[in-house]
Structures are given as structure tokens and as C-alpha cells.
Amino acid sequence: MPKIPRPFTTFPPFARPLSARGTASTSSATATAAAASALVVALTGCGSGASDATDDPTAASPEGFPVTIANCGTDVVIDAPPERVVTMNQHATEVMLALGLEDRLVGTAYLDDAVLPEFQEAYDAVPVLADEYPSFEQVLEADPDFVYAGFGSSALDDAEGRGREAMADAGIATYENIEQCTDNVTMETVSTEIDNIALIFGVEDRADEVNDDITARVDEARKRLADVDPVDVVVVDSIDSTVSTAGGNGIGTEIIERAGGRNVFDDVDKVFADVSVEQVAERSPDAILIYDYGETPVEEKKRALLENPTLADVPAIKEERFAVLPLSSAVVGVRAGDAVYDVAEQLHPDAF
């Protein structure tokens, strides 16, 4: 049966990616946006690796393997679908679980929120290596052939000894969520991320189902918002002497736009950025979207905003117009469709 094309997907089809215990090498040139979107190039030769298939030089690679993925400035070479995977960051873990790949997980780390209820049972069966990021030694103890990082710059941090080169030297292939190395993050980026992971594990049909569900949820919100006027929105991740907000380079801006809003800091060329309280006041948002996570409750963030004299004349403050989104929903992952719908319902309750 032919696959139904997705409305969001405008990228060319990818060849099937690689697998376990491949090599990874940092490219000498700055990665282009296309490379950051995980351009997949089929290989004709056999890749190196420690899998059973490559132990026997006469054994054929699985169909569609090996391949190379250019991922966030690193070429990842995988010979067969990974079998022992460690995920770091919640959205990476949830992509694996949504694709039904819990049997491949030998370790996970770093939740920002509770996992989605439909994933709880599968998640509970996976060893948690650390509450936050595991050490390199803890990763090695799990004996993975593949590490999937949600926030690559922190999860695969050279300074912490668990960088991509160190992983490659240990025979571990790595892949980073593409949000932080893609210039224009949209719902198509979400589809691409899920497609890439499905390709790596040879479960493309499952990606179709996940992406179709996301598309349907976004479409449902769009229909509800047909007659509403967009509102100006500022994201507040945290507030102290400055405001940590969402810039224009992350999925947060796309979620807001699809939900009937406009990110007032969409001109900031970052995924997350610190801005002054005065800048927030100058941009005069109609609504405030609070990212909920960590030890600071939402009500405490609201109170800090409402009691800040610099913000007293901001429409969102005067009207106490707040929306809330878990941080795990404000990243490139399987929650993106629900995030659009949930934010739309909070910004425009009369449309629902």
C-alpha cells in the first residue's frame, strides 16, 4: 500500500539510516541546515562495527544498511539497527517509546516532567542511569551501541567527558535531536526527527502513524481557530533579574503560531534566550506562555510576573492572561501536536 504523504513533510525521502557501533567523525566545515536536518546518504560499502552481522565478513548487512547520516555536524555511520540504546532527555526517550522501541532501551536519563501516561509502563521497565545526565562511565556500564540525545550540546558534552568523539572511540554511535542545529524549526522538523529515528531502526511505518497523529491534532486546532485574531505572546521559562524566553529558532515559535499567536521574540536568533524585563514590557504581549518544569511552580512564576512593577502596564499582566505548557511539550518531539492544541485552547478558549 502506498504511503499517504504528510501535509508537513516537504523534505526529500531519506535512505535508510545506519546502526549499531558505527563510527562518528566531526565534520571540518560548519554543518549546513540541510545537514542539520539529518540528510541521509546511502553507502555502498560495509561499515565498521561490532555487531554480529559484521563479525562475519561474509554476512550480508540488513536490507537498507549500512548508511551515513549527517547529523548536527557529525557523520554517523551505522551498519544495522541498534540493539542497545541509551536515551538522554525526555523527548528523545518519548520518541523511542512512541515508535515501540522500548525493547531496544538499556538505559535512560533526565526527565523534565512525568512521561506521558501511555508510555509509563514501557518507561518503568527501562533502567534509569541518572536523574540528570549520567557520567561517561555510567553510560559505558550500560554497554550501549547507540546514544540518542535530546539536547545534544549538554547531553553529549565534551567538557563532561561524554562527547560524541569519546562515544565514537568507545564504539558507540550517537544522534542528536535536530532542533538545536536547524535554522528554521517547524512542524516539518518534528516529522523529520521522528522519521530519522524510525529509519535508523527500520520501523518507518510506525513513524507514519506517529506523524499522522501529530498532523491530525494540529489540523484540529487549525479548524477551531479559523475565525480568531492572533495574539502577541511572550514565553517565560523563568524570571529573575532577566527573563528566560523562547527565541525564533525553536519549535516554541511554531507552536505559538499554530495555536493562534505570535512570539514577540521571534526575531531572536536562538532556541532559548535571556532578555531584560524592560524588553518584555516594550513588546507589550497580550498573553504569557509559561514553561512548566523544575522546582519553581507555575504559581510562583505567575506571582513574580504580576508583582514586577516594570510589567504593570503590559496587557497580559493587566488581564492576567496566562497559558501553561510543560517544557517537555515545547521541544521537537512526539508531543508537538498536543502542544499546539493545548496552547490554542488556553489562548482562545472561546473557540473551543
- For residue 60, what pLDDT band results from cuts at 50, 70 and 90? low
Count, residues in the chain: 352
Across all residues in the chain, what is the average pLDDT? 86
Q: Helices H, strands E: what count in the chain?
A: 14, 16
Average the pLDDT over 329-348 and give the result. Answer: 98
Grid cell locating 10: 516537504
Average the pLDDT over 2-14 and give the result. Answer: 36
| Rounded Cα distance, 270 and 126, in Å | 33
- In the beta sheet, which residues pair with residue 70? 39, 75
Lowest mean pLDDT among 62-71, 128-137, 289-298: 62-71
Residue 115 one-letter amino acid? V
The helix or strand, by DSSP H or E, that contains position 294, with its residue range, turns out to be: none
Average the pLDDT over 322-332 and give the result. Answer: 97
Contacts of 297 (CB under 8 A, 6+ apart): none
- For residue 56, what pLDDT band results from cuts at 50, 70 and 90? low
Cis peptide before 66 (omega within 30 of 0): yes
- pLDDT tens for 213-269 read 999 999 999 999 999 999 999 999 999 999 999 999 999 999 999 999 999 999 999
Grid cell locating 204: 518507518
pLDDT exceeds cutoff 60 at 22:
no
**Closest of 104, 96, 102, 98 to residue 80, by C-alpha:** 104
Question: Hey, CA dihedral for 153, 156, 161, 165, is it positive or negative?
Answer: negative
| Rounded Cα distance, 295 and 263, in Å | 25
| Rounded Cα distance, 216 and 187, in Å | 12
Task: Please report the pLDDT score of residue 61 as a whole number.
Answer: 72
pLDDT exceeds cutoff 70 at 11:
no
Domains of the chain listed by start with CATH number = 24-212 (3.40.50.1980), 228-351 (3.40.50.1980)
pLDDT exceeds cutoff 50 at 121:
yes
Task: Please report the pLDDT score of residue 177 as a whole number.
Answer: 97
- pLDDT tens for 183-202 read 889 999 999 999 999 999 98
3-state secondary structure of 72: coil
Task: Please report the pLDDT score of residue 34 as a whole number.
Answer: 39
Which stretches does DSSP call E strand in 219-299? 231-236, 238-239, 242-246, 261-263, 272-276, 287-292
pLDDT exceeds cutoff 50 at 9:
no
Q: Helices 204-224 and 336-347 sit at what angle, rounded to 10 degrees?
A: 10
- For residue 65, what pLDDT band results from cuts at 50, 70 and 90? confident
Task: Please report the pLDDT score of residue 294 as a whole number.
Answer: 86
Lowest mean pLDDT among 4-18, 98-112, 142-156, 208-222: 4-18
Task: Please report the pLDDT score of residue 266 as a whole number.
Answer: 97
Backbone φ, ψ for residue 290 (5° rounding) = -95, 130
> Are 243 and 277 in contact, with CB atoms under 8 Å apart?
yes
pLDDT exceeds cutoff 70 at 49:
no
Average the pLDDT over 295-315 and give the result. Answer: 97
